[in-house]
């Protein structure tokens, strides 16, 4: 049932950043240009207001504006899901209802950070959101950002809920991915959330990736996923090795700091601005940082 309903949810999805102007207000024109670029270059889906989108520093109204702007720019070309997770269940539900009213196709719900809930608390958190909002939900496991890890057994347990359709696994741990895949049904959608391990993750049963690198190289990330799914492993490995420098560069500092630096050197009209407490790469260093990737960046418009 779930796989039939959400069969389009596969491939390379871009976890998009939120562009800001010099005064740190939303830059919706740059956002539209970026989304248009992605849709023209084989992106399979878009995630707005996630970690890469600096959701923690956006107001709920700003999140609504971002979601609606992305949906307008996409114009139905690809599915758009919204990051709504917080470390408070009630606020997460409020965000989820807002995303539903804005028109999002689904929800990305991160494990609560700081509170450090146990596995029963995680189960109740995710199912409370799923009970409150009838949109497909993807559980987001990113312990490096949250200090909280939803175990495979808990993922399998929440997967029994009809509205919880997948997981974004950003652990980078292939044993974790294997154990999760063993415990869930084939209908459950497993997305990698760690760019550098996308290729082995898909080989182990993943359906795709929710990717930072796809903001720079959407077609290549799409090709890696689809080639692995078609058992074209040698071809996929060649592209994986081609993109490897981007894997390293885009995670050389806290994401999305390097990504915004790179996008500021494209024709999309992006600034490298981030909201505090994140801090942008110094202007005097951006050119040197981006120089090895100039050929990639010159193609983005």
pLDDT tens digit string along 131-157? 999 999 999 999 999 999 999 999 999
The answer to whether 134 touches 110, Cβ cutoff 8 Å, is: no
In the set 123, 140, 270, 293, the catalytic residue is 140
Task: Of 23, 89, 88, 94, give the one whose Cα is nearest residue 61.
Answer: 94
Q: Does residue 59 fall inside a structural domain?
A: yes
Domain assignment present for 58: yes
Average pLDDT of the chain to the nearest whole number = 95
In the predicted structure, residue 16 carries a pLDDT above the cut 50: yes
pTM of the model: 0.95
Q: Is residue 259 part of a domain?
A: no
pLDDT the model gives residue 1: 39
- CATH number of the domain enclosing 248: 3.20.20.70
Q: Examine residue 128 and state whether it is found in any structural domain, yes or no.
A: yes
Cis link prior to 256 (omega < 30° from 0)? yes
β 80-83/106-110 pair status:
parallel
Residue of 2, 63, 168, 260 marked active site: 168
293 tagged catalytic: no
pLDDT-derived band at 299 (thresholds 50, 70, 90) equals: confident
Domain assignment present for 268: no
Residue 272 maps to a domain: no
Structural domain span for residue 68? 2-252
Report if residue 276 sits inside a domain: no
Whether residue 168 lies in the annotated active site: yes
Structural domains in the chain (count): 1
- Domain assignment of residue 215, yes or no: yes
* Predicted confidence (pLDDT) at residue 3 exceeds the cutoff of 50: no
């Amino acid at each position: 049932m779930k796989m039939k309903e959400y069969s389009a949810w596969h491939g390379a999805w871009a976890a998009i950043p939120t562009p800001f102007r010099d005064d740190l207000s939303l830059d919706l024109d740059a956002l539209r240009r970026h989304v248009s670029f992605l849709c023209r270059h084989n992106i399979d889906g878009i995630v707005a207001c996630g970690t890469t989108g600096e959701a923690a520093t956006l107001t709920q109204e700003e999140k609504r504006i971002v979601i609606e702007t992305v949906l307008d720019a996409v114009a139905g070309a690809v599915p758009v899901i919204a990051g709504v997770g917080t470390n408070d269940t009630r606020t997460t539900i409020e965000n989820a209802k807002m995303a539903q009213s804005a028109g999002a196709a689904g929800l990305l719900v991160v494990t609560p950070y700081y509170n450090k809930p146990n596995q029963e608390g995680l189960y109740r958190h995710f199912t409370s959101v799923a009970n409150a909002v009838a949109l497909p939900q993807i559980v987001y496991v990113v312990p490096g950002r949250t200090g909280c890890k939803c175990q495979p057994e808990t993922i399998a347990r929440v997967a029994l809920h009809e509205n919880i359709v997948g997981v974004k696994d950003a652990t980078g741990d292939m044993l974790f991915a294997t154990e999760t895949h063993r415990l869930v049904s084939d209908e459950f959608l497993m997305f990698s959330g760690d760019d550098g391990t996308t290729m082995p993750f898909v080989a182990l049963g993943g359906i795709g990736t929710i990717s930072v690198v796809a903001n720079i190289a959407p077609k290549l990330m799409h090709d890696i996923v689809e080639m692995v799914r078609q058992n074209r492993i040698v071809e996929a490995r060649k592209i994986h090795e081609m993109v490897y420098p981007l894997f390293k560069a885009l995670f050389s500092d806290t994401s999305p700091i390097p990504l915004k630096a790179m996008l500021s050197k494209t024709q999309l009209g992006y600034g490298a601005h981030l909201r505090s407490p994140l801090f942008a790469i110094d202007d005097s260093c951006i050119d040197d940082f981006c120089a090895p990737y100039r050929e990639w960046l010159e193609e983005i418009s």
